[in-house]
Structure 1
């Protein structure tokens, strides 16, 4: 039997301009490096870009993930995180009933992320 694999999916809004996704792709690449080759990291989008969340979850299940964590890379909890994401997660759970799929709070709600952003803003003051 193969070892348990915990998949990680970064869930972002999406945009018409492909360049919008570049920071999210860099974040996914950093996580792939940190987690290693056998720990899948995917990027999924709510709209306008691919893959969508259902596709990313299905790909991780096919790759052998036995648990999946979805991290919303949103700054706060607007309607997409409060309404759309729970419905999408329910559909994914129904499609893959043997795989636990959980979601974290949006990254912008975490104090460590806010602290890092505050430090970034302060460093900008020092640039002048």
Structure 2
């Protein structure tokens, strides 16, 4: 049986629910580009769903391959220390699932170029 694939956008989380709006917009954009892919948003702390509870739901949907994209600007402590520990536990708990972790989105050259263009555009308005 071929399992389903999921892309999880992994963000920090905040007390103010409005903070997550850009991440939900990103989720919708990604989903629109790949309608057959399961695209979800998970948080490290302060918001739901957290990665373990989301993974449980994905497993229940038949997802067997999960790619986690940290939507962080850099590879700080949360991405370098916290996330690997969480994924290690998920691999033990969900032995039938494969997990792949991408680098922090903010370290990708194309993302930095888009951010630079935005910054430069802001002074021309």
Q: TM-score range by the shorter chain?
A: over 0.9
**SS at 1:66's partner residue?**
strand
Q: Distance in 2 between matches of 1:113 and 1:59?
A: 30
Segments ≥4 residues shifted beyond 6 Å: none
| SS of aligned partner of 1:55 | helix
Out of 57, 80, 83, the position equivalent to 1:82 is 80
Q: Secondary structure at the match of 1:44?
A: strand
Give 1:57 deviation, angstroms: 1.4
Q: Which region of structure 1 is more displaced relative to structure 2, 57-66 or 77-86?
A: 57-66
Query: How much has 1:58 moved relative to structure 2?
Result: 1.5
State which drifts further: 53-62 or 67-76.
53-62
Query: What CA distance in whole angstroms lies between the structure 2 residues aligned with 1:124 and 1:81?
Result: 29
Match of 1:64 in 2: 62
Report the equivalent of 1:113. Answer: 111
CA RMSD of aligned residues (A): 1.0
Aligned to 1:10: 9
Length-normalised TM-score, structure 2: 0.95
Partner of 1:41: 39
Instruction: Give the strand-richer structure, 1 or 2.
Output: 2
- Tell me whether 1:96 sits opposite 2:91 in the alignment: no
Q: Under a length normalisation based on structure 1, what TM-score does the superposition of the two structures give? A: 0.93
Post-superposition shift, 1:4? Answer: 3.5
How many residue pairs are counted as aligned between the two chains?
A: 125
